[in-house]
Chains A and B, each alone.
Chain A
Amino acid sequence: MLSRVANSIYWLGRYLERAENYARFIDVNFNLMQDLPVDLKEQWHPLIAATGDLALYEKKCTGYERNQVLFFLGFDAENPNSMLSTIKNARENARIIRENLNKETWEKANELYYMMQEGLEKKVWKKEDPRPFFEKVKNQILLIYGIADSSVARIEGWYFRQLGQYLERADKTSRILDVKYHILLPADQQVGTPLDFLHWMALLKSVTAFNTYRRLYGNIESANVVEFLVLNKYFPRSIYYCIKEAEKCLHNISGNLGGGYMNSSEKAIGELRSKLEFAEVGEIIGFGLHEYLDSLQLKINAISNNVDSNFFTIRDNQNHQNQTQSQS
C-alpha cells in the first residue's frame, strides 16, 4: 500500500473516532447538566479542559456559556479539533484515498460532511435541545463503521484505519475520564456524595459503558470506574483494550506472528500494553489519576509518531529529503 495512502487511511480512522467522541462528550454533559441542582451553574469548562484545547478557547471566548462551548466543540472552524474540522479532515482524507474505499463508505463520509455543513447553517448550537443533531452525527459515524465492518477486506488498509481508530479512542477515553478531575464539586458536596455519583454515571454513559459496568461491579465507586475504563480486558473502549487491539493491528501490518517487536511502533506499543496489562488500579490512584492519564496520553502520542516514521514518511523525489504529510 502506498505510504501516502496508508497515512490518509490512518487519519481517517482517527478523525472519525475523534468526531464521534466529541458527539458523545456533548451529549453526556448536556444530560449531566440537567441533573444538577438549580443553584449550581452549568459546567462546560471541564469539557474543554479535557479536550486539551482550553488555551485556544480562552483566547477566543470569555465565559463558558453553553452556546459558546457547543459552537467551539461542534462548529468552530478555527478549532482544529471541533467536529466540523475533524469531519472535514476525515472527508478530505477519504477523498484522497477514495479509490481505496468502497462506494458506500465514501458516500456516507461525504453525507456526514454535508450534515455538519447543514448544522452550521442552521446554527444548531443555539437550539434549545441540540442533542438530536449530535445523535444523528454519531449514528452516521457508527454507520460508516458498520459498513466497513461487513464489507472491507482484512488487509493492510483495514488495519491502518483500525490502528488510527483505537489509538484515538484510547486517548479520548483517557480524556473523558479526566473530565472528572476538572469538574468542581461545591464545597459541601464531597467525593462520594450523590452529586459525585451523578458525575460518574454520566461519565460511564458517555462511553456506553454504564450497563456493562453495573453488571460487572454493581455499585458505583470511583476506583472501580477507573479500573473499568483503564484496565478492563474486555470492554472495547477501555484504554487497555484499545492499546491491545492497536498492537494487533501493527502485528498484522508487519506480519509479526506474535513475538517481540519488528519495528519501533511495535516496541513502544508493546511496552505500554504490558504495563497496562499488569497494572493495579491502586497504583494508578496512588500515582494520581490526572497525572497518570497525562502520561498515558504522551505515550500514545509517541506511538503515533513512531507509526509515522515507520510507515508514512517517504523520500522527497524532488529534493531527496524525507517528508510526511503531518496531521494531528
Chain B
Amino acid sequence: MKTDGYNAGEHYDEMISAEGEIREHYAEFYNHLKKTSSRKMNHLQHSANQTQRSMGMTFNVYHDNQGMEKILHLDIIPRIIPNSEWQKLEAGLKQRTHALNLFLQDIYNERKILKDGIVPSELILKSKDYLEPCIGLTPPKGIWCHITGTDLVKAKDGEYYILEDNLRCPSGVSYMLESREIIKRVYPDIFNQKGVMPVSNYPTKLLRMLQNLSDKPKPVVGVLTPGIYNSAYYEHSYLALQMGVELVNGVDLIVENKRVYMQTTKGLQQIDVLYRRIDDTFLDPETFNPESMLGVPGLFEAYKAGNIALANAPGTGVADDKAVYAYVPKIIKYYLDEEPILNNVPTYLCREEKDRQYVLDNIEELVVKETNAAGGYGMLIGPKADAEEHAKFRELIKNNPTNYIAQPTLSLSTVPTLTDEGIGGRHVDLRPYILYGEEIEVIPGALTRVALKKGSLVVNSSQGGGSKDTWVLY
C-alpha cells in the first residue's frame, strides 16, 4: 500500500508526527501496511463489509424511511493507543465517573453543592431532565450511572478533551465488540505481535455488574428495549444474547403488587434487574410521559419499593446536560478535592450574558450546540457554515439562550483510513465505556468513530460517520 505521501497536514495525526516520523506505537502496523498491496487491503475491507452484513450489524436511521437499516462502515485500519496514554485516560475517566455519581446522589438528596453555590440551583432544579419523582431516592448500592460512554477527542496539542458525558443509555459498545472480532480476522499475525488488550469479556462484566444490583442469590436480569425499530436494536439483542438474558419489550412486562413480572408461556415470572435502553421519561406512563407506549405502567413504583433495579438509574440525564458539562471540573474538585485529570473543552454558556455576547460576536469560529440534543443534530460548526446559518443560530440563541452552549472549534486528531484514493487521514473521536459495579472499571478499548468524508468533523453514525477498531496496547 502506498504510504509515502501520507502526512499529518495541519492536524494531530495518531500515526505520524508533524515532522513526518511514524509514532512508536504504530511502527509495526505501519510496516505491515507498507508491505500489503492495496489490492489486498481493498479485498480485506470488502470481506469485512460482507461479514458485517451477514452479522446484521445494522442501525436504524431516524428521519429516514421507517425501519431503514444501515451498516455502520468499519474501516479496517485500527486506531492504536499506547499504554501510557491509556493509563491517564483510565484514571481520568474513573475520577470523573466517581464525581458525577456523587453529584447525582447529592442533587437528588441533600443538594449540598447547590446550597454551597458551586453549581447554580436553577440550572439543575429547572432542568427538564431533573426528575422530580427521583427526589429523595437512593438507587441500589448508591450507584446512578452503571454504564457510561464518555466522548473524547484529541486536539492539535495532542491532549485528550472530554466532549460529552453520556450518562443515560450510551450506545455503541456492541460495535466495539463485534468490530474487534472482525478485525482479528483481518490481521491474524500482527494482532498477536502487538499485544492488544482484550475487550471480549465486556458482556461477562456487564452481567456481573447487573446481578450485583440485586440482593437475590440468582437474580433474573433482562435488557429492556424499545423494539426492533429503535436505532440501537442490534446492540440490545446482541448484549442480551451475549449475557444470556431475556430481551424484553414493554409489552412483555406487567407490574403487580409493586413487583415486575415477565409474561411467559408458563405464566408470570418475576424479574429483578433491568438494563433498560429506554429513555427515562418513557419508562413508566404512570409516573412520566403518559403517552409512552414503550414503557411499563407501575414500573417506577416497583423501583421505588426496591423490587426492581434499573441501570442506569432514572434521573441521570440531568448530569450530562451540555450546560452542566461546563461545571464538571468544579464538581470533581468539590467532591473529591482533586484536580481534574482530563481536560474539559472551554464552554460558553449562552444563559450567561457575558458568555452569550462573546458567542454572538464570534459565532463564525465556534461550535454551537443545543444543550439537550444528541446525535449531532441541532448543531452549528461555525467555520464550516455560511453567513445565513450564522444569522439563523444568532436568532435561535437570542430567543432561547439557556438552550445553547458554544465551544471553540477543536481540531480533531486524524487516523489513517482506507479511502478511494488510497490512505487518507480522517478525523476521529473516542468513546470508551465505563462500568460502575463493585468498583469503577474502564474497558480497555473503545468505539472510535471516524468522519469518512474528507475534512469533515461530524463523526455521528447518523450523519455519514464510520467506525474503527480501537487497540489499547499492553
Chain B positions 246 through 277: 1 when the CB is less than 8 Å from some CB of chain A, otherwise 0: 11111111110000001111100000000000
Additional pairs, 20, CB under 8 Å, beyond known A97-B247, A100-B241, A323-B251: A1-B266, A2-B248, A2-B252, A2-B262, A2-B263, A4-B252, A6-B265, A95-B228, A96-B228, A98-B241, A99-B246, A101-B241, A103-B55, A107-B54, A110-B53, A110-B54, A311-B265, A315-B254, A317-B250, A318-B293
Question: What residues of A have a CB within 8 angstroms of the CB of B306 in the complex?
Answer: none
**Can you name 25 A-B residue pairings with CB atoms under 8 Å?**
A2-B246, A2-B248, A2-B262, A2-B264, A3-B252, A3-B264, A4-B251, A6-B264, A95-B56, A95-B233, A97-B247, A98-B237, A99-B238, A99-B245, A99-B246, A107-B54, A110-B53, A110-B54, A111-B54, A156-B265, A253-B265, A316-B251, A317-B250, A317-B254, A317-B255
Q: Which residue of B lies closest to A114 (CB)?
A: B53
Residues facing B in A282-321 (CB within 8 A) are: 311-312, 314-318
A317 touches B297 (CB 8 A): yes
Q: Which residue of A lies closest to B244 (CB)?
A: A99
Residues facing B in A100-123 (CB within 8 A) are: 100-101, 103, 106-107, 110-111, 114
User: A92: shortest Cβ distance to chain B, in Å?
Assistant: 7
A-B complex: 8 closest residue pairs judged by Cβ atoms:
A99-B240, A99-B241, A98-B237, A314-B263, A99-B247, A110-B56, A311-B265, A317-B254
A314 touches B55 (CB 8 A): no
B264 touches A1 (CB 8 A): yes
Question: What residues of A have a CB within 8 angstroms of the CB of B265 in the complex?
Answer: 1-3, 6, 156, 253, 311-312
Partner of B251, one of A103, A114, A311, A314: A314
Roughly how many angstroms separate A98 CA and B245 CA in the complex, as a whole number? Answer: 12
Question: What residues of A have a CB within 8 angstroms of the CB of B264 in the complex?
Answer: 1-3, 6
Question: What residues of A have a CB within 8 angstroms of the CB of B238 in the complex?
Answer: 98-99
User: A289: shortest Cβ distance to chain B, in Å?
Assistant: 37
User: B435: shortest Cβ distance to chain A, in Å?
Assistant: 20
Is the C-beta of B296 less than 8 angstroms from some C-beta in chain A?
A: yes
A318 touches B285 (CB 8 A): yes
Partner of A3, one of B55, B56, B250, B263: B263
Roughly how many angstroms separate A326 CA and B404 CA in the complex, as a whole number? Answer: 46
Residues facing A in B116-142 (CB within 8 A) are: none
Contacts from A to B (Cβ < 8 Å): 1-6, 92, 95-101, 103, 106-107, 110-111, 114, 156, 253, 311-312, 314-318, 323
Question: What residues of B have a CB within 8 angstroms of the CB of A323 in the complex?
Answer: 251
Roughly how many angstroms separate A209 CA and B246 CA in the complex, as a whole number? Answer: 41
Question: What residues of B have a CB within 8 angstroms of the CB of A103 in the complex?
Answer: 55, 241
Roughly how many angstroms separate A4 CA and B262 CA in the complex, as a whole number? Answer: 10
Roughly how many angstroms separate A95 CA and B55 CA in the complex, as a whole number? Answer: 11
Roughly how many angstroms separate A110 CA and B247 CA in the complex, as a whole number? Answer: 19
User: B254: shortest Cβ distance to chain A, in Å?
Assistant: 5
Q: Which DSSP category, helix, strand, loop or mixed, fits chain A's interface? A: helix
Question: What residues of A have a CB within 8 angstroms of the CB of B263 in the complex?
Answer: 2-4, 314-315
Question: How many of chain B's residues have a CB under 8 angstroms from any CB in A?
Answer: 31
User: A136: shortest Cβ distance to chain B, in Å?
Assistant: 16
User: A71: shortest Cβ distance to chain B, in Å?
Assistant: 24
Q: Which residue of B lies closest to A107 (CB)?
A: B54
B253 touches A317 (CB 8 A): yes
Residues facing A in B224-244 (CB within 8 A) are: 228, 233, 237-238, 240-241
Known contacts A2-B264, A95-B237, A156-B265: A317-B251 contact under CB 8 Å: yes
Question: What residues of B have a CB within 8 angstroms of the CB of A110 in the complex?
Answer: 53-56
Question: What residues of B have a CB within 8 angstroms of the CB of A107 in the complex?
Answer: 54-56
User: A308: shortest Cβ distance to chain B, in Å?
Assistant: 12
Question: What residues of A have a CB within 8 angstroms of the CB of B53 in the complex?
Answer: 110, 114
Known contacts A3-B263, A106-B56, A111-B54: A314-B252 contact under CB 8 Å: yes
Question: What residues of A have a CB within 8 angstroms of the CB of B248 in the complex?
Answer: 2
Name, among A107, A253, A316, the residue most crowded by chain B CB atoms within 10 Å (CB to CB). A107
Roughly how many angstroms separate A312 CA and B264 CA in the complex, as a whole number? Answer: 8
Roughly how many angstroms separate A315 CA and B296 CA in the complex, as a whole number? Answer: 12
Residues facing A in B315-350 (CB within 8 A) are: none
Roughly how many angstroms separate A318 CA and B253 CA in the complex, as a whole number? Answer: 10
Roughly how many angstroms separate A2 CA and B271 CA in the complex, as a whole number? Answer: 12
User: A249: shortest Cβ distance to chain B, in Å?
Assistant: 12
Known contacts A2-B246, A96-B228, A156-B265: A318-B297 contact under CB 8 Å: yes
Name, among A2, A106, A253, the residue most crowded by chain B CB atoms within 10 Å (CB to CB). A2
Roughly how many angstroms separate A315 CA and B267 CA in the complex, as a whole number? Answer: 11
User: B52: shortest Cβ distance to chain A, in Å?
Assistant: 11
Residues facing A in B280-334 (CB within 8 A) are: 285, 293, 296-297
Question: What residues of A have a CB within 8 angstroms of the CB of B54 in the complex?
Answer: 107, 110-111
A317 touches B237 (CB 8 A): no
Roughly how many angstroms separate A180 CA and B228 CA in the complex, as a whole number? Answer: 42
Question: What residues of A have a CB within 8 angstroms of the CB of B251 in the complex?
Answer: 4, 314, 316-317, 323
Question: What residues of A have a CB within 8 angstroms of the CB of B55 in the complex?
Answer: 103, 107, 110
Roughly how many angstroms separate A142 CA and B230 CA in the complex, as a whole number? Answer: 31
Q: Which residue of B lies closest to A310 (CB)?
A: B265
Roughly how many angstroms separate A4 CA and B228 CA in the complex, as a whole number? Answer: 13
Name, among B241, B253, B285, the residue most crowded by chain A CB atoms within 10 Å (CB to CB). B241
